[in-house]
Amino acid sequence: MPQPIVLFDGVCNLCNASVQFIITRDKNKRFRFAPRQSDTARDLMRSHGLDPDRDDTIALIQNGRLHLRSTATLHIAHQLCWPWPVLFVLILVPPFLRDWAYNRIAANRYRWFGKSEACTVPREDVRDRFLS
C-alpha cells in the first residue's frame, strides 16, 4: 500500500509548522510530504483533478483518494500517535461547518503566521520523507 502524501504550502509558516508537528507525531513514518510549489505536487494535484495554482488548502492523497481542508487534517490526525486520533470523531461534523473554520484560518495564515520567501528545506534526518 503506498504511503499517504501530504501536499502543503511550502512558503507558509503555519503549514511548515504543521508538517513538523506531523513528523514528530508520526512514529511509524507513514506520511510523505511535497510542497505544493514543487513539480511533483503540481503533477499529483492535476492527476487528482485539483487546480495546481490553488494554494488555500492542505491536501492528503491516500489510497488513491484526495482529501482536502478539514477532512485532510482529520485523516492525518487519525494516523498520528495518541491522543491525536481522538480528533477523528469530528469527521461526524458536517464538512461545511468544519471547513468554515478551516477556510478562515487558511485565508489569514500569511497575515497571522507569516510567509517565507522560498520553501523551507527539510532537516537532513527527515529529508527522505519529502518527495521534492
Looking up cell 468544519, which residue turns up? 98
- Please report the pLDDT score of residue 124 as a whole number: 81
Helix 95-113 to helix 69-78 angle, to the nearest 10 degrees?
Answer: 90
pLDDT at 84 over 70: yes
pLDDT at 1 over 70: no
Compute the average pLDDT of residues 96-115: 94
pLDDT, tens only, 39-74: 999 999 999 999 988 778 899 999 999 999 999 999
Query: Residue 8: in which H helix or E strand, if any?
Result: strand 5-8
Looking up cell 464538512, which residue turns up? 95
Domain spans of the chain, in order of start: 5-118
Please tell me the pTM assigned to this model: 0.92
